[in-house]
Amino acid sequence: MKSVEIISMGRYVPERIVTNNDLAKIVDTSDEWITTRTGIKERRIAADEEKTSDMAIKASQEAIIRGQFDPQEIDLIIVATTTADSAFPAMACLVQQAIGAKKAATFDIAAACSGFLYALTTAKQFLVSGMYKNALVVAADKMSKVMDWNDRATCVLFGDGAAAYLIQTTDKPNVGIVSDFMLGLGEYSDYMQIIAEEIKPLEQKNIMVRNPYVVMKGPELFKVAVNSMAEAVDIAAKKAGITLDQIACVIPHQANDRIIQAVAKKLGAPKEKVFVNIEKYGNMSAASVAIALYEAVESGAVKKGDYVALVVFGAGLVSAANIIKW
C-alpha cells in the first residue's frame, strides 16, 4: 500500500488581536478569570468583511507557494469547516476557483473541531486507493460569527484562522500519515451545539431573528473530551505499531489548557512533548490543530523523522487521531 506524506503547508490568521482585557470591556470577565480557566491570553478575530473562504484561500496560497506546486496538478480539495460563507457553494469550490486548481474534485467536511483530521484521513483514502495522487486539505473557521458575545462562558474561548496542507502519495515506506482513528459519540450531541430561533417555512414576521450561536455544557464536555482524546491517541499509536514513548510530539486540539494537561497526564506525556499555542489563538475549531502543527514544525518542536500524534475532539461529539512520521 502506498504511503501519503505532507509536502507543504500554509496558514493564515487575521490581523486583529483581541486580548482578555479587551473582552473584559464587553462582558463580565477578566484576564485572570480567562487565563486561569482556559490558558488563553488572546485570540485573532476576522474583520467584518473577511469571510471564512478568504482565510482558507490565503492559507492555501501559502501552501502552494511554499511547495512550489502547480495548482493544475491538484486532484482533490477538501475543506473542513462549520462556518462556511453559505450553505453552498462548497468552500472547496471557492478555494478551487481562487487558486486555479481547475482539475480538482471538491467538497467540504463538517466535523467541527475534529474537521481537519477527518478531512486529512478522508483525503488519504482517495490517495492510497489510487484514485488521486495529490490533494489539498484545508481547515478554516470564523468562529467569531457564531458567538453569543453576551455569554462569557463561550465568547472568550474562540478565535478565527485557517491552515492548508498539500499531501501526495509516495513509495517511501513508513513515512507520512501512518495511522488514523475516527469515532462518533453522538450520545453527547447536546454537550456542544449551534442553535438558532426557528421560523416556520414560508412565514414572514417583522421581527429580529437572532443569528445562530454556540451553546456548551462545559463541565460535562471536559470529561468526555479528555477520555476520548487519550483513547484516540492510544488506538492510533497501536495501529501505527509504536509505543506512546516513541511519540516525539503530541499536538492536541487547542480548546482549553486544562483539557490539554489532563490528556497529557493520561498519556504519560511530559510537558516538553506536548505542543501548546492556545494562549495566542484560543480555539479556532477545525483550524486549531492544523495551525498548531504548522507552528510546531516551524518552531522546531517537530523534526524530520519524528513521530507526531495529532488528536482532536469536536461537537458531534466526534474524536480523531493521526500518527504522522514527519
Catalytic sites, residue numbers: 113, 253, 283
Q: Which residues pair with 192 in a beta bridge?
A: 216
Return the axis-axis angle of helices 257-267 and 218-240, rounded to nearest 10°: 40
Cell match 462549520: residue? 82
Three state DSSP letters for the chain: CCEEEEEEEEEECCCCEEEHHHHCCCCCCCHHHHHHHHCCCEEECCCCCCCHHHHHHHHHHHHHHHHCCCHHHCCEEEEECCCCCCCCCCHHHHHHHHHCCCCCEEEEECCHHHHHHHHHHHHHHHHHCCCCCEEEEEEEEEHHHHCCCCCHHHHCCECEEEEEEEEEEECCCCCEEEEEEEEECHHHHHHEEEECCCCCCCCCCCCCCCCCEEEECHHHHHHHHHHHHHHHHHHHHHHHCCCHHHEEEEEECCCCHHHHHHHHHHHCCCHHHECCCHHHHCECCCHHHHHHHHHHHHHCCCCCCCEEEEEEEECCCEEEEEEEEC
- Report residue 193 as a C-alpha cell: 451545539
247-252, strands of its sheet edge to edge: 176-184, 318-325, 307-314, 247-252
Q: Measured over all CA atoms, what is the biggest interatomic distance in the chain, rounded to whole angstroms?
A: 63
76-80, strands of its sheet edge to edge: 3-12, 160-170, 134-142, 76-80, 105-109
